[in-house]
Amino acid sequence: MTRLIRLLIVDDEERFVETLSKRFAARGFYVEGANSGPDALAILNQKPFDVVLLDLRMPGMDGLQTLREIRSAQPLLQTVMLSGNASINAAVEGMRLGASDYLLKPADIEEVIAKVEEAFEKKRLKEKDLSGRNEA
C-alpha cells in the first residue's frame, strides 16, 4: 500500500524550494524542485510525479496558468496550491481548475505534509477507480 510519494515543488523563491525539499526528503518523499512554470512542465513531461506543490505568484507564467497546463496534460496528477497571495478570487480559481487544496504561506510543515499525503491518497484512489473501469 505504501509507496514513495513523488513530489514536485514549484516556486520562484529558490531558497524556499530548497528548504522545503530537504524537509520532505527527510520524511521519505522523492522530491524535485522547479523555479518556474515552464521548468515544472518540462520536468513533468519527462518523469512521473504524484503531487505538485505549486506557488501561485511567479513571474512570467503564473501558478494558475501552470495549473491549467498541468491539468490538461495529466488530469490525475494532484496539485496543492501554496501561496502568500491572500486573494479569494485566485484561490477559488485554483480550486476550480482542479487543485486539491490551497494553503496560505506561511504554512506549518506538518500541515503541508498532511495535505500532500491526502492529495496522494486521492490520486491513488482515482487511479484504482479508473483501472477498475478499464478492466471492464
Q: Which residues bind other proteins (CB under 8 A)?
A: 57, 84-89, 91-92, 94-96, 100-102, 104-106, 118, 121-122, 125-126, 128-129, 131-133, 135-136
86 phi/psi in degrees, rounded to 5:
-90, 65
Return the number of the residue (63 or 94) whose C-beta is nearest other proteins.
94
Answer whether 109's CB lies under 8 Å from 103's CB: no
- Of 66 and 78, which CB lies nearer to other proteins in the complex structure? 78
Minimum distance from CB of 133 to other proteins (Å)? 5
Residue with cell 503564473: 62
Residue 46: CB minimum distance to other proteins, A: 29
Does residue 31 contact residue 37 with C-beta atoms inside 8 Å? no
Q: Smallest gap, in angstroms, from Cβ of residue 47 to other proteins?
A: 25
Q: What is the rounded CA–CA span in Å between residue 60 and residue 41?
A: 14
Q: In this complex, which beta carbon is closest to other proteins, that of residue 48 or of residue 59?
A: 59
- Find residue 103's DSSP bridge partners: 82
Q: Give the three cell numbers for residue 124.
A: 491513488
